[in-house]
Amino acid sequence: MVKQEKTLAQRARKYWEQRDLSALEKLRREPGANVPEVLYFVGLGLNALNKKREAIECWRKAKDLDPQNESVIRSLAYEMLEPAPVHAAELLCQLVALRRANADDLTCLGEIRIKQDRLGEARRWLDQAVRLEPGNSLALLALASLYAQVRDDSLALDFLQKAADTEDVDLTDLASDPEFEFLWHHPKFEKIVANGAR
């Protein structure tokens, strides 16, 4: 039985890597496919097919079978970011507790806390993200957003500049973003935003 599960998991990974979504969908109906590794990839396939409900059900089933499966936890967390940020934060905190959180996970957690107006906690998560990955443009941009909320123009501009320096993000939309309105006429802000198209 273990060999069959391993073979099914390998097939699921292969189908996902090849983006053979119909094969993934069929695979979930095979005997022995009800294992976390297979359910994870089937969930990815279903999500790619915009079958979000079924994807979430696959990932929840996988998490029930293996509560510490970081890929499953991460997939659920990212799927829950918009519709259920509190639940997403709980899942991301599970990754932190398992010592499996990466810089993007910590950035998401920081962004959730910004939206909840828990700025001290947000800063701690975002600082951790930058320590893990100093050039993470999304973490740097989130820190700029955090400092914009408290109207610290110096730190907001410093983090915007660092985000721009990564050349990973297009900052031109910030020119009309109300979050940064207090900086709209600041020469450094205008320069960052003008050069921010990458």
For residue 25, give the DSSP letter: H
Task: Quick: pLDDT tens for 155-185.
Answer: 999 999 999 999 999 999 999 999 999 999 9
Q: What Å distances lie between residue 48 and 24, 38, 43, 82, 121, CA to CA?
A: 11, 15, 8, 17, 33
Residue 110 lies in a domain: yes
Domain membership of residue 77 (yes or no) is: yes
Residue 183 belongs to some domain of the structure: no
Count up the domains in the chain and report the number: 1
Q: Is residue 179 part of a domain?
A: no
Q: What is the pLDDT of residue 195?
A: 84
In a domain, 170, yes or no: no
Domain with 60, as residue range(s), is: 2-155
Q: What is the pLDDT of residue 134?
A: 97
> What pLDDT is recorded for position 163?
96
Residue 86 lies inside a defined structural domain of this protein: yes
Residues in the chain: 198
Tens-digit pLDDT profile for residues 106-134: 999 999 999 999 999 999 999 999 999 99
The pLDDT-based confidence of 197 (bands split at 50, 70, 90) is low
In a domain, 6, yes or no: yes
Q: What angle do CA 22, 24, 27 make, to 5 degrees?
A: 110
The CATH number given to whatever domain includes residue 52 is: 1.25.40.10
Give yes or no for a contact between 68 and 91, defined as CB atoms under 8 angstroms apart.
no
Please report whether residue 75 resides in a domain. Answer: yes
